[in-house]
């Protein structure tokens, strides 16, 4: 089974990356970028907006697709994840939904966090860690 998912790569004015700590499986307790499943009939852009709002309290404008990655999920499922650039339009950063925590992380501290498997390598490979 293939599960369509999206993620958001968001920087603030100080070139810090928005990360959330997962509150539920998969990757519970690990840090990642905001995102989640695309609901049936939902566009990627709508899913990015919804997931970021639910997990961080921030409303975003969705930009370019940065890349796609596949990750194994439970019961033989495959998560097909499409990560997009996004910029904050409004809101106050507050962890919510399945995010246990949310913060702006300086890039030089990113590697010191317990990150979701492959996140840092993938974002580096896509050249997505350079603020727009």
pLDDT digits (tens, 9 = 90+) for 51-85: 999 999 999 999 999 999 998 887 889 999 999 99
- 54, 97 contact by CB (below 8 A): yes
Residue 60 is inside which H or E element, if any?
A: strand 58-72
State pLDDT tens for residues 111-130. 999 999 899 999 999 999 98
pTM as predicted? 0.94
**Can you count the helices (H) and strands (E) in the chain?**
3, 7
Q: Looking at domain 2-125, what is its CATH homologous superfamily?
A: Nucleoside Triphosphate Pyrophosphohydrolase (3.90.79.10)
């Amino acid at each position: 089974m293939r599960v369509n998912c999206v993620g958001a790569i968001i920087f603030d004015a100080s070139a810090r990356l928005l990360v959330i700590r997962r509150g539920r499986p998969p990757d519970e307790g690990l840090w990642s970028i905001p995102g989640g499943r695309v609901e049936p009939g939902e566009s990627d852009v709508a899913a990015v907006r919804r997931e970021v709002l639910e997990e961080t309290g921030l409303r975003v404008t969705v930009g370019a697709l940065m890349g796609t990655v596949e990750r194994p999920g439970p019961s033989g499922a495959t998560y097909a994840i499409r990560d997009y650039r996004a910029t904050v339009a409004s809101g106050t950063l507050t962890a919510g939904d399945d995010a246990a925590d949310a913060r702006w992380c300086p890039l030089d501290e990113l590697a010191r966090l317990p990150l979701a498997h492959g996140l840092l390598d993938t974002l580096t490979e896509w050249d997505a860690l350079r603020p727009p």
